[in-house]
A and B are shown apart, each in its own frame.
Chain A
Amino acid sequence: MRIAFVKREKAGFRRMIAVRTTAMLLALASVGMIFWFYGADPVEVYREIFLGAFGTKTGVSEVIVKLIPLLLCGVGLSLVFKGQIWNIGAEGQLILGAIAATGVGLWVPLPSYLVIPAMFLSGFLAGALWALIPAVLRAKMNVNEVITTLLMNYVAIRLLYYLVYGPWRAKEQWGNMTWSGFAQTAILPDHATLQTIPGTRIHYITLIIALTSLIFVYLLMNRTSFGYELKVVGDNLMAARFAGINISRVILISMIISGGLAGIAGVGEIAGIQHRLRPGFSVGYGYTAIIIAWLGGLNPLAVLVSTVFFSGILVGGSYIQISFGMPVGVINMFNGIILLFLLASEVFLNYSIKLRR
């Protein structure tokens, strides 16, 4: 007797939910086992994560705060991934957006009402440009974009470090004496920071931009000829070529949008939360967004749901880091396992499993 996979019709919505939920539960159980080896009661850990994220008003508002960058990155990634264009560089594009916004906010002389729009614009452009380099290499020379986008994350982090430890480092001043302070820039002037909903850290302007971009990308994917071309490129590159689709154009445009949205996420973090550039301001939003896009089945509306879930893990995860003494990396572990289970479960969507004699 052997197990055979038989190709089946595309799975319906209910089957998809059932398969994905099962995969998630199995993933959570596996992570639980690691917690158990670590000497922590898994039930207790999960309870803490859930209550930390959704149990209090502060928790919920923090979930929304984390949702903003994750949604921006996740929506952009679901667009490029649809075309099987592997932008793994959202983290670096986010950092570039943050750098550009800080530069504009601190030093570009503009009427104060123009500063915020200029920061968002420059952040979008910086993220888009950072994504454009690997996009051009892929489109024109077929250089593997997984590796280039990823390597550019390392370059972006080094650039950030260079700036905050070097030329952009703020001077501390006391009387006539000045000296180099912490590795961070000076604080942004008030007109370069975003307002928040009172009593929370929710910078609602970026949230609105994120939700708008979600609708924009949804329409782009489902209601335009570009969206159709993107899907053909993703499903079958050969067919796309024969159909006369301009593949380079599809790659470049989708990468510009995805990089730009990640850049905007960086602007939001700086103008809305940090109010200055400093190392470690992003806790790997760009990487988490990869799983968010995948879990959402590359559908922007479903991506919203998966974003809420992962913002919850980020917020709740910060509680367990404190109370169980776990490193920041625990989030990465979580993400990796969930993604592996989701991938392995995909087969149940596209194939029926039959036992044969």
Chain B
Amino acid sequence: MNMTFYESIISTILVSGTPLLYSTLGEIYAERSGVMNLGVEGMMIMGAVTAFIVGKITGNLLLAVLTAILVGIALSLIHAFVSITMRGNQTVSGLALTMFGLGLSSVIGIKYVGSPGISFNPIRIPFLSQIPLLGPLFRMDALFYLSIILAVVMWYILFRTKIGIRIRACGENPAVADALGVNVSLIRYACTAIGGGLAGLGGAYLTTVSAPFWGDVMTTAGRGWIAIALVIFSFWSPLRAIVGAYLFGGIEAIQFNLQAYGIPTDILGMMPYIATIVVMIFSMSGMKRRFGAPAALGVPFVREER
């Protein structure tokens, strides 16, 4: 096989998978604590547009990414307030957040449609980037490396630390967690905010690495929803999320390469969405109880009044 072809496929897979990985990791924490946030698409696109604009105006990538994270957090706190404090319906609240994010991003981004922004440069890791076949893995951008480290750290925290136990307890049985002195609302707020920050970061990746352009709603094009499906695919585990995210990165890479064979773009464009549905079917049929969703997912916690 042609080496440059191989390398371009690997880098397409990684670049397409990374934003999904960030958003999936964030949503895993939110859902593990018992909060389902369907606003991922809205938070991602707001992250994408703010990172693009801040990057373009200041020329500072770090600032661009930080802004996107903060915007993601701010939006997720709206969902947390509505669904945790005000006990609103989580499904509808998340949807509303997505609508709001899609709308607001197109209002603030209208002046920037089509103009180029700034982007991260790849960092070549000495020696490792020279390894045959694995080399392309070590010629990526900083945010890619960060996402892998983050997945491992988030897995460790969730399954090997006391904080992780508390988070999972809030998602499995908030009444017991409360009785043991865990502040359920606080943990749920915090995890929802983590979800928001990472969705914002995932969005930022789209406009600072994948393609430094602002293309309105087509910038995210449903990736937030794919990320939510990937949470189920990864059985709420940050490590499995890596597999899921790059599987979908692979689908995008195939999509690019099949265009050369004359298959209409729009038919190929259906692939990620259909693949997501197929993956959801397999995840559901293969799901055993112990891998199942957090038992209290989507259920507001109401402490009995005394």
Chain B residue numbers with a CB within 8 Å of A34 are 104, 107
Contact call A336/B96, Cβ cutoff below 8 A: yes
Contact call B280/A166, Cβ cutoff below 8 A: no
Contact call A4/B305, Cβ cutoff below 8 A: yes
Chain B residue numbers with a CB within 8 Å of A329 are 102-107, 216-217
Which of B82, B107, B222 is close to A343, meaning CB atoms less than 8 Å apart?
B82
Contact call A151/B225, Cβ cutoff below 8 A: yes
Considering only residues 68-124 of chain B, those with a C-beta below 8 Å from chain A are 78, 81-83, 86-89, 91-93, 95-107, 110
B228 at the interface (CB under 8 A from A): yes
B185 at the interface (CB under 8 A from A): no
Mark interface residues in A274-310 (1 if CB within 8 Å of B CB, else 0): 0000000000000100110010000000000000000
Contact call A332/B266, Cβ cutoff below 8 A: no
Chain B residue numbers with a CB within 8 Å of A162 are 264, 266-267
B129 at the interface (CB under 8 A from A): no
Contact call B273/A347, Cβ cutoff below 8 A: no
For B78, B81, B91, B96, which residue has the most chain A Cβ atoms within 10 angstroms? Answer: B96
Contact call A340/B100, Cβ cutoff below 8 A: yes
Shortest C-beta distance, B187 to chain A (Å), equals 19
Contact call A331/B103, Cβ cutoff below 8 A: yes
Mark interface residues in B215-256 (1 if CB within 8 Å of A CB, else 0): 011000110011011001000000000000000000000000
Chain A residue numbers with a CB within 8 Å of B96 are 291, 335-337, 339-340, 343
Contact call A154/B273, Cβ cutoff below 8 A: yes
| Cα–Cα, bound, A353→B92 (Å) | 23
Chain B residue numbers with a CB within 8 Å of A155 are 270, 273-274
Shortest C-beta distance, A50 to chain B (Å), equals 20
Contact call B89/A327, Cβ cutoff below 8 A: no
Contact call A141/B281, Cβ cutoff below 8 A: yes
Contact call A332/B100, Cβ cutoff below 8 A: yes
Which of B42, B86, B273 is close to A344, meaning CB atoms less than 8 Å apart?
B86
Chain A residue numbers with a CB within 8 Å of B285 are 141
Which of A4, A331, A340, A350 is close to B82, meaning CB atoms less than 8 Å apart?
A340
Contact call A335/B103, Cβ cutoff below 8 A: yes
Interface size on B, residues (CB 8 A): 51
Q: Binding site of A, secondary structure by majority: helix, strand, loop or mixed?
A: helix
Contact call B267/A158, Cβ cutoff below 8 A: yes
For B103, B226, B273, B281, which residue has the most chain A Cβ atoms within 10 angstroms? Answer: B103
| Cα–Cα, bound, A100→B103 (Å) | 30
Mark interface residues in A118-153 (1 if CB within 8 Å of B CB, else 0): 000000000000000000010001111011101110
Shortest C-beta distance, B51 to chain A (Å), equals 18
B59 at the interface (CB under 8 A from A): no
Chain A residue numbers with a CB within 8 Å of B93 are 339-340, 343
A165 at the interface (CB under 8 A from B): yes
A38 at the interface (CB under 8 A from B): yes
Which of B38, B81, B217, B276 is close to A151, meaning CB atoms less than 8 Å apart?
B276
| Cα–Cα, bound, A81→B281 (Å) | 23
Contact call A146/B266, Cβ cutoff below 8 A: no
| Cα–Cα, bound, A88→B81 (Å) | 23
Chain A residue numbers with a CB within 8 Å of B264 are 162, 165-166
Shortest C-beta distance, B223 to chain A (Å), equals 10
For B104, B270, B302, which residue has the most chain A Cβ atoms within 10 angstroms? Answer: B270
| Cα–Cα, bound, A347→B82 (Å) | 9
A326 at the interface (CB under 8 A from B): yes
Contact call B103/A346, Cβ cutoff below 8 A: no
Contact call B103/A161, Cβ cutoff below 8 A: no
Q: A335-B99, A335-B103 are in contact. Are A148 and B277 (CB under 8 A)?
A: yes
| Cα–Cα, bound, A165→B228 (Å) | 31
Chain B residue numbers with a CB within 8 Å of A6 are 305
Contact call A147/B280, Cβ cutoff below 8 A: yes
B284 at the interface (CB under 8 A from A): yes
Contact call B99/A143, Cβ cutoff below 8 A: no
Contact call B225/A150, Cβ cutoff below 8 A: yes
Chain B residue numbers with a CB within 8 Å of A344 are 81-82, 86, 88
A219 at the interface (CB under 8 A from B): no
Considering only residues 252-280 of chain B, those with a C-beta below 8 Å from chain A are 264, 266-267, 269-270, 273-274, 276-277, 280
Shortest C-beta distance, B115 to chain A (Å), equals 15
Which of B83, B103, B229, B266 is close to A336, meaning CB atoms less than 8 Å apart?
B103
| Cα–Cα, bound, A154→B273 (Å) | 7
Contact call B97/A336, Cβ cutoff below 8 A: yes
| Cα–Cα, bound, A43→B82 (Å) | 27
Considering only residues 63-88 of chain A, those with a C-beta below 8 Å from chain B are 86, 88
Contact call A158/B269, Cβ cutoff below 8 A: yes
Chain B residue numbers with a CB within 8 Å of A345 are 86
The residue on B at minimum CB distance from A141 is B284
Shortest C-beta distance, A291 to chain B (Å), equals 8
Given A143-B284, A155-B270, A328-B106, 5 more A-B residue pairs with CB atoms under 8 Å apart are A34-B104, A155-B273, A158-B273, A165-B264, A336-B98
30 A-B residue pairings within 8 Å (CB atoms): A5-B305, A6-B305, A7-B305, A34-B107, A38-B107, A137-B277, A137-B280, A142-B284, A143-B280, A144-B229, A147-B228, A150-B225, A154-B270, A154-B273, A158-B273, A165-B264, A287-B99, A291-B96, A325-B110, A329-B103, A329-B106, A329-B107, A330-B103, A334-B103, A336-B98, A336-B100, A339-B93, A340-B100, A343-B86, A343-B92
